[in-house]
Every structure is written in C-alpha cells, then in structure tokens.
Chain A
Amino acid sequence: MKILVITEHRQGKWNNTSFETLAAAQQIAKDTSSAVSGLVIGKGVAGLANELAAKNVAEVLLVEHDLLEAYTPDGYCVALSQVISSAKPDLVLFPHTYQVRDFAPKLAAMLGKGMIGDCVGYRNEGGKLIFVRQMFQGKTAADVTFQGAAPWFASFQAGAFRSDLVAAHPSGKVPVNSVSVELKAEQVRTKPLDLFKEAKSAVDLTQAPLIVAIGRGIKAPENIPQAEALAKALGGEIAASRPICDEGWLPMERQIGSSGQTVAPKLYLALGISGAIQHVVGMKGARTIVAINKDQNAPIFEIADYGVVGDIFEIMPALTEALEKAK
C-alpha cells in the first residue's frame, strides 16, 4: 500500500499535527508493509520539504505554485487532485485541522471518494484497516471502514498520535521530488485577506497552574459567581467551554478548546462539562483532572483522575468551604 501524508504549515512554520499524522502513517506502514510519502504544498516551501526528507519516508513530494502561496480551498483541491491522480496513493492522510476540514472532503469528492475525518486511532484486522472516530460528542466511539476502491482519505485528530515518535530516516535523506501542477487564477474563487487575532486577551490561561472550568451544567449566568467563589478559594482562574462564551456569560478569552486556548495546568476542575472533543483537545494535557457532572456517562470522566457524579450546585459551595478550611 502507498500512504501519502499531506502536511500543513502557516507562515513558514510547521503545524506540529503534521508530524502526529506522519507518526500515524509510519505505524500503519509498519503494520501493513506499506511505504509512506510526505507532501508539502505552498510557495517557497522547499526548506520545509528538505526537513521532511530527513524523516523515515520513501520520498517527499513538493507542490509549488504562485497561486498556492496563501491557502485557498480551491487552489489546494485543484493542485492536490492532480498530484493524487498521478502519484496514485492508496491512503491519503491529513492532520484534522480547521484547514483540512475546509478542503479535504471536497478533494476526496472531486475524485469520487469519501473521507473518514477526525479519527483517534486505527486497527488492522487481517489486512483490513478500521478507523476509529468519536460520535455523539465523544459519548460513543465508532469503527468505520472504507467501501469501494482506493484512494481512501482520512484525517487524525490532534493528539491522537505522538509527533515525537516520528522515525528519522536511517541513512540521511530521501529525495525531494517537485511535482508541477496546472492552476489558473480563475479557478481560485475565494480571496484570502488578512490574518489577525482579536484584541489581545487580558488573561493568559496557558500560564495558570489551577483552572476551574464551567460548562453547560452551570445552567444560568446568575450561577457563575458560585464557580468564581470556588476558583477564588482555590486561587485559580475561571474558564469555560465554548457554549458558555457563545452565550456571552464569560468573555471569549476564557474559552478552553479547539477554538479557544489550549492549557496544561497542574489542576483542571471541570464543573458541568460533558467533555465534547472540541473542549477536551484544549485541556487533556492537564496533570490532574477532576470532573464533577450529574451524568455518570459524560465523556469527561474518561479522562478524569477524580470523578464526582453529582449536582454541581451542591458540591461547589461544599468544596469552596472545604478549600477555605484547608488553607
């Protein structure tokens, strides 16, 4: 089998999840006696391609074009569909980034194929690859298989594989092969403009050692002071899952998750947070995770060190008091 890994970079820097996906590809290759190639797409990205060539891959494909300098879904799809048609990989793997979500399903559809997105792992059952992904916001896992002929397309969730396990090339470097593509300006219908961050956030949650985070279970904005009192007793920062910030109950800058901040504090206390994957990717690196939730099947308990199944409105004040006493 031929496996092709589509890497990602922005402004000359790697998106590290590219290497997580490369690690996944190398593991699948080992399991299935396959060969892995890497692909770098853009303009002026030969340096990145050279870096990739030092990894344990069969070759690196370098796809460059003036119209690929800035990412556009049209540009990437037109270019990559040509490369895939000529290189004929069996399995095309991506990191499951926002950019990949923006173009990869279309790329697969242009070739009449499907994509299994956001996988957290895979199994090889007698030569048949089974991809594992989450459904129902992480409440269930699903085994998914490809139907029909290759190429097959799949993406791996951030953190599903470890980038530090990427094997280097045993004897130096593999060749970087430039692949030319035909791309016309009128094929690129959207125009990317400025990249920006909103007003610099006043709180940097990444530096907070102790975090108290609230989710939908908090129910109403008037209940937030209870959680704030708990955070104060703990000496920690208050944070939230996306729905709370969407409602405007806490400012966006206090949001943890894929669209907010990614944190790895000493302690993460999750109150009434179900543990949807978009939240979990932002906090699963915490050293100790405590989850309090009324639903014993909430996926947050899968990653919690300590769990309490109960009513947060009873436990918050009791815990605040116990923390005050323990000072």
Chain B
Amino acid sequence: MNIIVCIKQVPAKDAPLSIAGNWIRESDIGFEMNEPDSYALEEALRLKEKHGGEVIALSMGPERVKQTIKEALAKGADRGIHIADDNFAQLDPLGSAKSLAAAIQQQKHDLVLTGLQSDDKGFGQTGVLLASLLDVPHATIIMAIEVDGQKMKLKRELEAGWFQHIECPLPAVLTIQSGINKVRYATLKGIMAAKKKEITTIARESLGVSVEPTQRVEKIYVPTKTKKTEFLTGTPKEVAGKLVEKLKFEARVI
C-alpha cells in the first residue's frame, strides 16, 4: 500500500507573530510540522507497518520546509517530495491543492492522507480539494482506518460526540483528526537513516498548473476585542485574592 502524506510546515505554536500586510514576517520565527499532519503521518506509518508499501512525505513551500520533510523521514517515511515555491503563502486553497494534486499524480499511490486543517491559515480544504482534483472518493475528520483489500472501513467524527462508520473504496483521500493515534518520536537510528533517504525537489512552476486565485487575503490584523477584559496584576497571592473577591462580589458566581 503506497501512501502519500501531505504535510505543511507552519509557524511554531509559541512563535510571536509580527504581521506584515497579508502575511507574517517569516524571518522572525521558527517553523514546525503542522500538528494535524503529524497525526496523518503517524497513521500512514502504522498502515505501512501493517500492509507494507511505502510512505512518501510531500510538502510545499520555501527551502525551509525540507526540514519538516527530514523530520518525516526520520520518523519512518521512505522518501520525500518538496514542491519548491517561495511564494507559497500567497496561494489560495485551490491553488495549493492543484499544485499538490499535480505532484501526487506523478506518483503511484493507493491512499493520500493529510491533517484535517492547518494551524496557520486553517482553511481545512486541502484534502477535500485533492479528492475532487484527483477524482477519487474522500472522507474527512477520520478517527480510525481499517483496510480490507480494496476498501476501507472508516470512523468519521461528527460534532458533539457523534461518530459515523463509512465504507470507502481505494484509492482515496482522507483527512485525519488529531488524536487518532499517539505520534512517535524520531529515534537516533531514524535520524541517521533519514540522511540516506531521498528528497526530490520539484519547482512549483514546472508542474504547469494554473493557480489563478479564487480568493485573496487582503490583510491580517489583531482582532478587535468583543469583551472588555479586566486584567488583574500583582504577586500570585495578590492576584488570587483579587480574583476570589471579583468572583464573589462582582461576578457573583461563587
């Protein structure tokens, strides 16, 4: 079973963001693997361990995303594909998906996995768009995968604690919900082995897809507050005392 995992590199969770027009100043911060994608990678590795085949880590962006591909290789992916595009942040969801789909079509594969959304833009559309562009079935927000020959039985998460089982034929695209598994760490052996693994770089323009935007982020900004927050300051003891007072006599909730 050959699995392609689409992995995005996003600003580190605790990175202080400084806004520059419709994006952020990238030079100021660190980057990491998009957390939902790390669950998708783990699921791919587990499926490979059970059913054989290879896992390809696919990522798009500037040179720095190679670091995230290397991390995937260290965890056990067999090879990596880097779609190089310094202007990746300016692509809309459809433009990104078209580029990924073009690279995916060049590879033999049975299954495409990705996280349910990215922690930066959070559109949550890539997997669904890939299915449409590759003309294969899909299912999203998946919490369990059982492969049985040419079909899968999936557990899809719905809202408010509900789930649904779904039967889906292969090939397919699935988006993976965080928490589906416990993500492994890269071992020293894995990190050493990754050095010998291949990363193929493809320039995005060479894929020959039109990325005419369907939407445009005009600007990003710190959201305006909807509520007036009263900040309490002082030593921990003072703050605790003030807070109990407020909750008792002002908010009257305790």
Contact = CB atoms under 8 A, between A and B. Distances in A.
A147 B216 contact: yes
A302 B226 CA distance: 7
B58 interface: no
Contact of B220 (A140, A189, A322): A140
B223 A134 contact: yes
A101 B223 contact: no
B138 interface: yes
B179 A245 contact: yes
A72 B93 CA distance: 22
B114 to A, nearest CB: 13
A243 interface: yes
B214 A114 contact: yes
A305 B230 contact: yes
A323 B244 CA distance: 7
A201 B161 CA distance: 9
Given A74-B137, A245-B179, A287-B253, A198 B229 contact: no
Contacts of A308: 231-233, 239, 243
A305 B229 contact: yes
B223 A306 contact: no
Contacts of B17: 136, 139-140
Given A246-B178, A306-B243, 9 more contacts: A106-B132, A136-B17, A142-B219, A147-B214, A147-B216, A191-B166, A195-B162, A306-B247, A322-B240
B178 A242 contact: yes
B248 interface: yes
Contacts of A266: 253
22 contacts: A98-B141, A98-B158, A99-B158, A101-B125, A105-B123, A105-B128, A105-B132, A106-B129, A109-B133, A140-B222, A146-B214, A190-B137, A190-B168, A267-B247, A287-B251, A288-B247, A305-B230, A306-B243, A307-B229, A307-B231, A321-B240, A322-B244
B105 interface: no
Interface string B146-167: 0000000100011111111111
A195 B162 CA distance: 7
Contacts of A235: 254
Given A142-B220, A147-B216, A260-B161, A307 B240 contact: no
B244 A319 contact: yes
B177 interface: yes
On chain B, which size bracket covers the interface? 35 or more
Contacts of A295: 14
Nearest to B22: A142
B218 interface: yes
Contacts of A38: none
A304 interface: yes
B161 A190 contact: no
A13 interface: no
B28 interface: no
Nearest to A158: B159
A161 B97 CA distance: 30
Contacts of B153: 193
Interface residues of A, number: 92
Given A193-B164, A210-B253, A306-B232, A259 B157 contact: yes
Contacts of A137: 119, 122
Interface stretch (A22-30, A54-62, A84-92, A309-317): A309-317
Given A142-B22, A189-B169, A288-B247, A322 B215 contact: no
B179 A242 contact: yes
Interface string A204-245: 000001100000100000000000000000110000001101
Given A98-B157, A191-B167, A197-B162, A142 B248 contact: no
A141 B217 CA distance: 10
B32 interface: no
A279 to B, nearest CB: 12
A315 B241 CA distance: 10
A145 interface: yes
B247 A290 contact: yes
A164 interface: no
Contacts of B166: 190-193
A136 B232 contact: no
A193 B167 contact: yes
Contacts of A310: 236, 239
Nearest to A133: B122
Interface string B8-25: 000101101101001010
